[in-house]
A and B are shown apart, each in its own frame.
Chain A
Amino acid sequence: MLDIVCKKVDEVVPPGNVQELSRFFEGSFFDFPLRNDVRLKKRVAVYTLLRLRLQALFSQNDSLDALRLTYPRSGVLCIDVRGKSEKVWVNVSYSGDYVMTGISSVPIGVDVQKVRRVPDALVEALSSSQEASFAYGFSLRERTQFFSLKESFAKAVQLGITWPGHYAVYSKEFIVDSSIEGVVSRPVQLEDEDHVASVSMVPETALSKLERRA
């Protein structure tokens, strides 16, 4: 199973509905408080989108009470579907005008970024030796995509974003090290020049191999 959706915040949460939607989450199966700061609207939008996608995938006839949010490992969000043996992994991201959700049967990381300047020091810190040979030459958009891919991969494996050797991007096509079977990491195409998005999926069998190489 794989469900990746990236939408504009305003398409998910119409203007004026933020506080009302925020209250909707209180006591629901997203049982954690949404911090009320400048990013509240995006948080409300991304969890609204996640709820809608889960509803579309799992709850045609059932209430969402059948879905339980769990954290199997630190920082990893996962939904147990009661009555079914499958484990469902979810991940969310928001930046600029967009929110993004990913739902998958393997650990998944999604990331959307508003295109912005990525400091040289950060490019250097994120690059493997192979990547360093070309990463400095990236355009503004390519640098942001580079960061976004790293971020989505880090979210999928939850081992931190800077671990050279684990994640080799061999070319501008951003092809991830394929020496570990099942690992997928790629850009998600958006019809918007100001934003980029990425998705990574790392099966649990691959996670153990990655951890051994850490």
Chain B
Amino acid sequence: MIDQEKIALLEDMMDLDEGDLSPETELAELEEWDSMSKLSLVVMAKKQFGKELEVKDVRAFETIADICNAL
């Protein structure tokens, strides 16, 4: 899956509009990067990508690109 598709999934997961996110988007500046989004990411990573993300992994993400690289 290319990054743009992953970004579209992340926009959907965070209830954002298409084009709201880019690889450079900083998570610290994103209101929607909250506990629900973090938990949704863990669930999505396992269900759609077969990746087990741990809390320390999620805490270490700084940008959308970091998430895309981990998926």
Contact flags A110-128 to B (C-beta < 8 A → 1, else 0): 0001001111011011000
For chain B, give the interface size range.
10 to 19
Stretch of A31-39, A44-52, A197-205, A206-214 on the interface side: A31-39
**When the two chains form their complex, are residues A95 and B34 in contact, meaning their CB atoms are under 8 A apart?**
yes
A35 to B34, CA, bound (A): 14
B43 lies within 8 A of chain A by Cβ: yes
- A119-B13, A121-B47 are contacts. A38–B30 as well, Cβ < 8 Å? yes
A122 contacts B31, CB within 8 Å?
A: no
Interface residues in A79-126 (C-beta closer than 8 Å to B): 95, 113, 116-119, 121-122, 124-125
Report the Cα distance A113→B47, complex, angstroms.
25
A119 to chain B: closest residue by CB? B40
Residue of A nearest to B44 (CB): A121
The answer to whether B15 has its CB under 8 Å from any CB of chain A is: yes
Determine if B70 is an interface residue (Cβ-Cβ < 8 Å): no
Complex CA distance for A118 and B39, rounded to whole angstroms: 11
Is A161 an interface position by the 8 A CB rule? yes
Q: Which residues of A contact B15 (CB under 8 A)?
A: 116-117
Contact A116-B36, Cβ < 8 Å, known A37-B29, A38-B28, A39-B31: yes
A-contacting residues, B24-43, CB 8 Å: 28-31, 34-36, 39-40, 43
In the complex, how many angstroms separate the beta carbon of B55 from the nearest chain A beta carbon? 9
* Known contacts A38-B28, A38-B30: A147-B36 contact under CB 8 Å: yes
Other contacts beyond A116-B15, A119-B13, A151-B36: 17, CB < 8 A: A37-B28, A38-B28, A38-B30, A38-B31, A113-B36, A116-B36, A119-B12, A119-B40, A119-B43, A119-B44, A121-B40, A122-B43, A125-B39, A125-B43, A147-B36, A151-B35, A161-B39
Q: When A and B form their complex, which 9 residue pairs have the shortest distance between CB atoms, in order from nearest?
A: A37-B28, A125-B43, A116-B15, A117-B15, A38-B29, A122-B40, A121-B43, A119-B40, A121-B47
